[in-house]
Chain A
């Protein structure tokens, strides 16, 4: 039986240290309040030892991935030093960018801004590389209207698009997975937005990964059970709390949800 996934999210910023640019691991709160955590490769190795099911690695500087040796080098090192699945995104603009990331060791590529501004890229990449490696990352906020709206540019720019309709459109164009993040809950720890997650998951037959708001082990269980997510991604929760994927895993397992054993 297919197991549900617990996915640490590595948010990366470029930091200039003298003549070299290094990738640093950060966490955010509501996509602001950036805090440096440390070296992403060391942290990835810790997550691997804690039986994380997959890693999501996102460049949050908004710079293009093509020619970015800092990010590409990081992906290559992660694929060399860990043996776990990698979903990589941030600054992906063209179908060639997908090929480049896959060659460097990514298994899946996520797009966010480009899925809004140039949705044809989804089908173009899916035709070449298969739907299984196309992840559309959707950030949303719930404004005055009460309806969740898709945002881009680190959740700064509203698009006027409805989350459920946009997820459905991404699926129809060939996306193989949706990473759904409530940007208002990012880093807050008050729980996943289960009703919207459920609405999106029920409207499409591809996997949905929930993100934004995990503060307790119980939040993972809620997203997987009531929210019908295939996986839950978390950054702050795994980085700062006295919590790790093994403890969250134990909670999920006790609730009777199929998940990989920590062996």
Chain B
């Protein structure tokens, strides 16, 4: 597939591993740009919301950036496909309990909770784990399993019914991929997941804004 007509706006709110995702998108020919001003969000064909670090820190940075209201309009009024990665996914929940608790954007509902450690279940959850696709998503078919790279201590639970399209298990099950129409988010790092990760990014880039 050819992504030369894509312009992916990577939301640069000083809370993410931007270099890696930018490289992966460039490799796919998808023309990423870094977005620090709201205006650009209304012009791009796709939006990428990264996030590394503590949830509260990322949520505060996103609010301080002044980008959140335009992000909401681009996604809900304009229908621009958005991909949240790692804490960028968790920000779509109503709330996270990390460090005393903070509110998220609440776009897909649900809560972010600490993964409980247990014998043979070490936390953080670091490494390659298989995701079961519960629905078709681009190049992935329902029922397919693929290994992706995870690196997190908190996990997404109870998004709105029917919105978990990929699940994973570390001790208990959690939502690895959530989707609501043009809004997609993954707990793992597709930009670090070699061939499966590139396949996932291609599947996202194939989503298009309605004309």
Contact = CB atoms under 8 A, between A and B. Distances in A.
A226 B25 CA distance: 41
A206 B122 CA distance: 5
Given A3-B128, A132-B152, A85 B192 contact: yes
B102 to A, nearest CB: 13
Given A177-B124, A230-B122, 7 more contacts: A1-B169, A53-B128, A83-B194, A85-B189, A103-B19, A130-B52, A260-B128
Contacts, number: 109
A104 interface: yes
A185 interface: no
Top 3 closest pairs, chain A to chain B, by CB: A205-B117, A132-B124, A105-B19
Contact of B54 (A4, A102, A127): A127
Interface of B: 17-20, 23-24, 27, 52-54, 57, 87, 99, 117, 122-130, 147, 149-153, 169-170, 189, 191-194, 197-198
A103 B18 contact: yes
Interface string A218-248: 0000000000001100000000000000000
Contacts of A9: none
Interface residues of A, number: 39
Chain B contact surface mostly? mixed
Given A48-B194, A207-B122, A128 B57 contact: yes
B54 A133 contact: no
A177 B126 CA distance: 9
Contacts of A1: 129-130, 169
A107 interface: yes
Interface of A: 1-5, 48, 51, 53-54, 76, 79-81, 83-85, 102-108, 127-133, 176-177, 205-207, 230-231, 260-261
A231 B122 CA distance: 12
6 contacts: A2-B125, A2-B170, A105-B19, A128-B57, A130-B53, A177-B126
A90 to B, nearest CB: 19
Contacts of B149: 54, 84-85
A260 B151 contact: no
A107 B190 CA distance: 13
A79 B26 CA distance: 12
Contacts of B126: 132, 176-177, 207, 230
A261 B128 CA distance: 11
B123 A205 contact: yes
Given A2-B170, A85-B149, A205-B117, A133 B52 contact: yes
Contacts of B194: 48, 51, 83-84
Nearest to B98: A130
Given A3-B129, A53-B127, A83-B198, A131 B153 contact: yes
Contact of A130 (B18, B130, B153, B191): B153
A30 B185 CA distance: 45
B17 A131 contact: no
B122 A129 contact: no
Contact of B129 (A2, A106, A231): A2
A1 B123 CA distance: 14
A83 B152 CA distance: 18
Contact of B52 (A81, A83, A102, A230): A102
Given A128-B57, A206-B123, A260 B189 contact: no
